[in-house]
Amino acid sequence: MHQIHRVAIVGGNHGNELTGVYLVKKFQQYPHLISRSSFHTLALLGNLQAIAQVKRYIEKDSNRCFHLQELEKPLDNIYENMRAREIQQILQPPTSEPVDVIIDLHSTTANMGLTMILGNTHPFLVHLAAHISSQNSLVKIYIHQRHSATGFLRSLSELGFAIEVGSVAQGVLDAELFWQTEQLISEILDYIENFNQGKITPVEDYLIYYQFLQVVDYPRNDQGEIAAMIHPQLQSRDYQPLKPGASMFVTFTGVDILYTGQSITYPIFINEAAYYEKQIAMYLTEKQQIKL
Amino acid sequence: MHQIHRVAIVGGNHGNELTGVYLVKKFQQYPHLISRSSFHTLALLGNLQAIAQVKRYIEKDSNRCFHLQELEKPLDNIYENMRAREIQQILQPPTSEPVDVIIDLHSTTANMGLTMILGNTHPFLVHLAAHISSQNSLVKIYIHQRHSATGFLRSLSELGFAIEVGSVAQGVLDAELFWQTEQLISEILDYIENFNQGKITPVEDYLIYYQFLQVVDYPRNDQGEIAAMIHPQLQSRDYQPLKPGASMFVTFTGVDILYTGQSITYPIFINEAAYYEKQIAMYLTEKQQIKL
């Protein structure tokens, strides 16, 4: 594989996810923190208007605007569509090299610790993920192979991935998560530096990861309103095994709703605030491994 | 003191504080839960448009719109000012009895457990608070004697108070906090029932409470942007003693900022998401007691 020449770190793709916003502001002020000798690193704020208003988005979710066919349509008046084109021009400039790697910083109200979200199993990403997760026990790897269909910002690059940290409320900075995320970014940049310099010596045999299975919505009433809450026995237990028959939701009157699947699953994004409107209570995943 | 005839429970004064929104919806569906023999209880949703959009507010903070002089001004086009007048008409109808007690339900991203916030030390409120906090160890009492100046909804009634529960992210339901808040409301209604029926036998000697001292803002740079985060050693330690010289904030480059006060204080509302824009990082309080 060719070398990595350009890396972009994006914060504030969602304007109320402050960890990424303030990390990118820090990197812009102190660029030596993200500079390495063998490649160029760019720190970029995503949805500028949403950041200014501390909202996820103004008119539409910025992180669903990067379908290639959408980006080629005539421009409308939606701010996020306009900003998506600007970001595309920055990351894929018409007259110079495109960015090789995109690291898109997100946070979640779910208790997901430090998660690297990959959109494919490109050997570079798989080895990076194996290296990082073996060296940093806080890191989990989640693979969600639906890049091209989703319009994620990171889908602009084959080697794009997200870092998702939580739990932290929207509009809140958590210092511990801030430091942990900064450390993780530093480890990733160091890995790329070593990769470019031919210094990677693979030591891991397997990558343990979580693979997207399906979305689960909240139980809802006839009007479409949620009719139950995440069960206390499931709350904050992202990446823990959920067994058939275990409690998943509880109605407002106290009736338990059970997981009726046939096999153990590993829920993530449990009780993410921004997903209520997307009709997502959690993602179910299965735990897998890839032999390297 | 005369009897309590009418009690109002308000949820969704802030539209993204879901605990109160869904408790009021539950009480509207199952009114027997809040009905008692000696008084009438009304369950009311506050900022309807903000609830529909799962935002704190549309144009201005609804819970700052209840100044009496504001309510008497000519009506403008701001939704929250219009809704404040509607709520005032419901709680203080021109041709019938006003509500005696307002219970205004809020949630916070700060780790405040179950807090009753009183705006004055009316003997009824002090005895209610002493009774509830002695019987329910999760409950803390906070007294903030600035009702008339603030425009809080609860200031419509001398016996108005807030219930503030956390930590929970905006736009998220936490089942444990939901049940605990419902239980607390039930205990308060039971107390009022017993009060009306002359069945209160005071057993507590003292009310332990936390008294507002001052607001502390985040350290900020020349552009007014926050320049530090809540220190990890202070995060989630609401109601715990903060000693002179202890760490309060940490800058983005890792420099600790200490508490320079001269005496022990008890911070609350630490890292409340909605208070970043109000330039509030926390409130400092002192721990006090009233002899009953």
Give Dmax over CA atoms of chain B in angstroms. Answer: 61
The encoded tokens of residue B51 equal 């609830």
Query: Across the interface, which of A30, A54, A172 has its CB nearest the CB of B109?
Result: A172
- Is there a domain that residue B186 lies in? yes
- Across the interface, do B274 and A171 touch by the CB < 8 Å criterion? yes
Q: A178 contacts in B (CB within 8 Å)?
A: 229, 252
- Across the interface, do A252 and B174 touch by the CB < 8 Å criterion? no
Q: A54 contacts in B (CB within 8 Å)?
A: 276-277
Say if CB A157 and CB A100 are below 8 A apart.
yes
Residue A104 main-chain phi, psi, to 5 deg: -105, 120
Q: What is the mean pLDDT of the segment spanning B12-22? A: 97
Strands (E), B204-292: 206-216, 228-230, 247-251, 256-258, 266-268, 282-291
Return the residue of A nearest to B234 by Cα. Answer: A175
Read off the CATH number of the domain in which B15 is found: 3.40.630.10
Q: In what order do the strands lie in the sheet with A161-166?
A: A40-45, A6-11, A101-107, A161-166, A113-118, A139-143, A206-216, A282-291
pLDDT at B149 over 70: no
Q: Is residue B217 located within the same domain as residue B178?
A: no
Strand partners, A162: A104, A117
pLDDT at B257 over 60: yes
Task: Write down which residue in A204, A234, A269 finishes a domain.
Answer: A204
Q: B226 contacts in A (CB within 8 Å)?
A: 173
Task: Write down which residue in A138, A172, A204 finishes a domain.
Answer: A204
Q: Is residue A156 located within the same domain as residue A130?
A: yes
Q: B254 contacts in A (CB within 8 Å)?
A: 179
Instruction: Give the C-alpha separation, B49 to B26, whole Å.
Output: 19
Q: Is residue A74 located within the same domain as residue A118?
A: yes
Chain B interface includes A274 (CB < 8 A): yes
Q: Using alpha carbons only, what angle is made at residue B190 by residues A230 and B145, rounded to the nearest 5 degrees?
A: 85
- Across the interface, do B176 and A54 touch by the CB < 8 Å criterion? no
- Across the interface, do A167 and B172 touch by the CB < 8 Å criterion? no
Decide the pairing of beta strands B40-45 and B139-143: unpaired
- The Cα of B42 is separated from the nearest Cα of chain A by a number of Å equal to 19
Taking each helix axis from N to C end, the angle separating A175-196 and A123-135, rounded to the nearest 10 degrees, works out to 130
Strand partners, A104: A10, A162
Residue that is written with structure tokens 């208070």 in the block:
B275
Strand partners, B163: B105, B116
Q: Using alpha carbons only, what angle is made at residue A164 by residues B273 and A220, rounded to the nearest 5 degrees?
A: 70
Q: A179 contacts in B (CB within 8 Å)?
A: 254
Decide the pairing of beta strands A6-11 and A40-45: parallel
> Tell me, what DSSP letter sits at residue A31?
G
Chain B interface includes A277 (CB < 8 A): yes
Residue that is written with structure tokens 């509500």 in the block:
B99
> Tell me, what DSSP letter sits at residue A151?
T
- Is there a domain that residue B1 lies in? no
Q: A256 contacts in B (CB within 8 Å)?
A: none
Residue that is written with structure tokens 């208003």 in the block:
A53
Summary mean pLDDT of chain B: 95
> Tell me, what DSSP letter sits at residue A167?
S
- Specify the pLDDT at position B1: 74
pLDDT at B205 over 90: no
The encoded tokens of residue A81 equal 């569509």
The encoded tokens of residue A172 equal 């809140």
Chain A interface includes B41 (CB < 8 A): no
Q: Is residue A141 located within the same domain as residue A27?
A: yes
Chain A interface includes B248 (CB < 8 A): no
- Is there a domain that residue B79 lies in? yes
Q: Is residue B169 located within the same domain as residue B228?
A: no
The encoded tokens of residue A38 equal 């063998």
Number of domains in chain B: 2
Q: Is residue B117 located within the same domain as residue B156?
A: yes
Query: Which range is least confidently modeled, A60-69, A192-201, B135-144, B231-240?
Result: A60-69
- Across the interface, do A229 and B30 touch by the CB < 8 Å criterion? no
- The Cα of B109 is separated from the nearest Cα of chain A by a number of Å equal to 7
Q: B168 contacts in A (CB within 8 Å)?
A: 169
Q: Which of B16, B28, B53, B172 to mutate to test the interface with A (most CBs of A within 10 A)?
A: B172
Domain containing residue B101? 6-204
Q: Is residue A26 located within the same domain as residue A121?
A: yes
Strand partners, B107: B165
Instruction: Give the C-alpha separation, B203 to B196, whole Å.
Output: 18
Q: Is residue B226 located within the same domain as residue B254?
A: yes
Q: Is residue A157 located within the same domain as residue A54?
A: yes
Q: Is residue A13 located within the same domain as residue A69?
A: yes
Q: Is residue A200 located within the same domain as residue A248?
A: no
Q: Which of B111, B252, B257 to mutate to test the interface with A (most CBs of A within 10 A)?
A: B252
Instruction: Give the C-alpha separation, B170 to A234, whole Å.
Output: 19
Instruction: Give the C-alpha separation, B174 to A232, whole Å.
Output: 8
Interface of A with B in 122-151 (CB under 8 A): none
Read off the CATH number of the domain in which B237 is found: 2.20.25.160
- Is there a domain that residue B109 lies in? yes
Chain A interface includes B274 (CB < 8 A): yes
The encoded tokens of residue B5 equal 């005839």
- Is there a domain that residue A43 lies in? yes
- Across the interface, do B170 and A169 touch by the CB < 8 Å criterion? yes
List all residues 6 or more positions away from B74 whose beta carbon is below 8 Å from its beta carbon.
none
Is A163 in a helix, a strand, or coil?
strand
pLDDT in tens, chain A (292 residues): 789 999 999 999 999 999 999 999 999 999 999 999 999 999 999 999 999 999 999 999 999 889 888 888 888 889 999 999 999 999 999 999 999 999 999 999 999 999 999 999 999 999 999 999 999 999 999 999 865 567 999 999 999 999 999 999 999 999 999 999 999 999 999 999 999 999 998 777 899 999 999 999 999 999 999 999 999 999 999 999 999 999 999 999 999 999 999 999 999 999 999 999 999 999 999 999 999 8
CA proximity to A46, closest of A4, A16, A7: A16
CA proximity to A13, closest of A57, A43, A78: A57
Q: What is the mean pLDDT of the segment spanning B17-41? A: 98
CA proximity to B246, closest of B262, B224, B225: B262
Query: Across the interface, which of A30, A176, A229 has its CB nearest the CB of B173?
Result: A229
- Is there a domain that residue A1 lies in? no
Q: How many CA atoms lie within 13 A of B252 on its CB side?
A: 24
CA proximity to A17, closest of B164, B231, B171, B221: B171
pLDDT by residue (tens digit) across B152-187? 999 999 999 999 999 999 999 999 999 999 999 999
Instruction: Give the C-alpha separation, B243 to B217, whole Å.
Output: 18
- Across the interface, do A235 and B176 touch by the CB < 8 Å criterion? yes
pLDDT at B147 over 70: no
pLDDT grade for B28, boundaries at 50, 70 and 90: very high
Q: Is residue A213 located within the same domain as residue A193?
A: no
Return the residue of B nearest to A172 by Cα. Answer: B273
Interface of B with A in 217-246 (CB under 8 A): 225-226, 229-232, 235
Interface of B with A in 45-84 (CB under 8 A): 54
Is A255 in a helix, a strand, or coil?
coil
Residue that is written with structure tokens 């009183």 in the block:
B118
Query: Across the interface, which of B171, B175, B230 has its CB nearest the CB of A235?
Result: B175
Amino acid residing at A233: Q
- Specify the pLDDT at position A150: 79
Q: Using alpha carbons only, what angle is made at residue A161 by residues A155 and A165, rounded to the nearest 5 degrees?
A: 130
Chain A interface includes B31 (CB < 8 A): no
Q: Which of A16, A226, A234, A252 to mutate to test the interface with B (most CBs of B within 10 A)?
A: A252
- The Cα of A25 is separated from the nearest Cα of chain B by a number of Å equal to 10
The encoded tokens of residue A178 equal 């801030």
Instruction: Give the C-alpha separation, A265 to A18, whole Å.
Output: 30
- Specify the pLDDT at position B203: 76
Per residue, the 3-state secondary structure of B68-124, as one string, reads: HHHHCCCCCCCHHHHHHHHHHHHHCCCCCCCCCEEEEEEECCCCCEEEEEECCCCHH
CA proximity to A168, closest of A19, A13, A9: A19
Taking each helix axis from N to C end, the angle separating B175-196 and B123-135, rounded to the nearest 10 degrees, works out to 130
Task: Write down which residue in A204, A225, A255 finishes a domain.
Answer: A204
- Is there a domain that residue B81 lies in? yes
